Structure formats: structure tokens, C-alpha cells
């Protein structure tokens, strides 16, 4: 695959603590309409490190069919997770 053109690292929109799928689809469609050459969902410099694996997979599922067969969709191949804090019983 030859990569060329402009590719956008996408944000992952949330609403009330949940993945905002309609907003994500709108962002993708806007990028495609603007002539973007490829999409980069779940990049390593954004919120991807804090996504739950189910959220990460859902973002990829939404992105994958959006581009034409000739356009690249670069998927960050990592599932980095920041776990919630552990309750230490008030001990610091």
C-alpha cells in the first residue's frame, strides 16, 4: 500500500461518559467530504490510551466501512488502558 495525501488523526467524541457514535460518524463524513486521503482512529497521542477495549473496537468498527476501498484507514494496533484507581481504604 502506498500512503500519500493528507490523513487525519481523529478525535473520539464522548457524551455523558459514553462513546458518541452519531458525532463520530459526523466527524468521519466531514473529513471525507473535505477530501481527506485517510483516517487514523485511536491514535497514540490522543484519548485512545484511556479507551476501554470495547470502546476501542467500536470506534474501529464505525471507521472501517466509511472510506472507499482505495482509501487507507490506519488503525493504531495497541489497546493501552488506564485502569480506574484502586480503593486503598483511605490509606495514602
Q: How many residues does the chain have?
A: 92
Question: Would the pLDDT of 78 be above 60?
Answer: no
Q: Is the pLDDT of residue 16 over 60?
A: yes
What would the pLDDT profile of 18-75 be if each residue is shown by its tens digit? 999 999 999 988 988 898 877 888 876 667 777 888 888 898 888 877 666 665 556 5
DSSP assignment of 28-72 equals: HHHHHHTT-SEEETT-TTTGGGGS-HHHHHHHHHHHGGGS-TTS-
Amino acid at each position: 500500500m502506498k500512503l500519500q495525501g493528507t490523513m487525519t488523526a481523529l478525535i473520539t467524541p464522548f457524551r455523558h461518559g459514553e462513546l458518541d457514535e452519531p458525532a463520530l460518524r459526523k466527524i468521519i463524513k466531514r473529513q471525507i467530504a473535505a477530501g481527506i486521503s485517510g483516517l487514523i482512529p485511536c491514535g497514540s497521542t490522543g484519548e485512545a490510551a484511556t479507551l476501554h477495549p470495547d470502546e476501542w473496537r467500536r470506534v474501529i468498527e464505525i471507521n472501517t466501512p466509511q472510506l472507499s476501498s482505495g482509501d487507507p484507514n490506519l488503525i493504531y494496533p495497541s489497546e493501552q488502558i488506564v485502569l480506574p484507581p484502586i480503593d486503598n481504604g483511605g490509606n495514602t
